[in-house]
Amino acid sequence: MDMKSTLVLGGARSGKSRRAQALVEAAAAQRIYLATAQAFDEEMRERIARHQGERDDSWQTVDTPLELVSTLQDLKDSQRAVLVDCLTLWLSNLMLGGRDVAAETAGLCAAIGEMKTPVCLVSNEVGMGLVPETPLGRAFRDEQGWLNQRVAEVVDRVEFVAAGLPLVLKG
């Protein structure tokens, strides 16, 4: 498959990150991993280390917990394929940082459209579970759903991963 822009959705431990990494590895010999996670505790540091251990030396990692849009704009002419993992943590960072989520989402969608190199974005599908009990939880679920919809509109391909198996929704 000739990858241009792809959104890979799934639930926790669905295999979405592994699927996205395989797509990017098939797309280019040189790759950039845009990491949105922040290691605030030991458990998260271990998760990040595990993800890093799954990538070889052909990957360059760039930490971008908040400035994803400007980072993508800087990479739009790159010869390296780009993996963004993940939009869910990026959204959480934006909301907790008091950022304008609608403006950031619009900027992200514009940046995706300007990419001349393959880009694959990972995001969680959070709307299939229980209704969160707190206002912040409900706001996050709503914003995540809207973010996923906006990104799905602008990418060439959308895959949903469950039990490690990809289902093509678009493209």
Sign of CA dihedral 37, 31, 14, 153: positive
The runs of H, that is alpha helices, within 28-167 are 42-53, 68-75, 87-96, 101-114, 135-154
Report the relative pairing of strands 119-124 and 5-10 from DSSP bridges. Answer: parallel
Structure tokens at 55: 């990538």
Provide, for the chain, the percentages of residues in helix, strand and coil under a 3-state DSSP scheme, each rounded to the nearest 5: 45, 25, 35
132's CB contacts (< 8 A; 6+ apart) are 138, 140, 141
Binding residue numbers for GTP: 10-17, 35-37, 85
Let me know if 124 is a catalytic residue: no
Structure tokens at 80: 């390296």
Q: State the catalytic residue, choosing from 51, 76, 141, 150.
A: 51
Query: Which residues form the catalytic set?
Result: 51
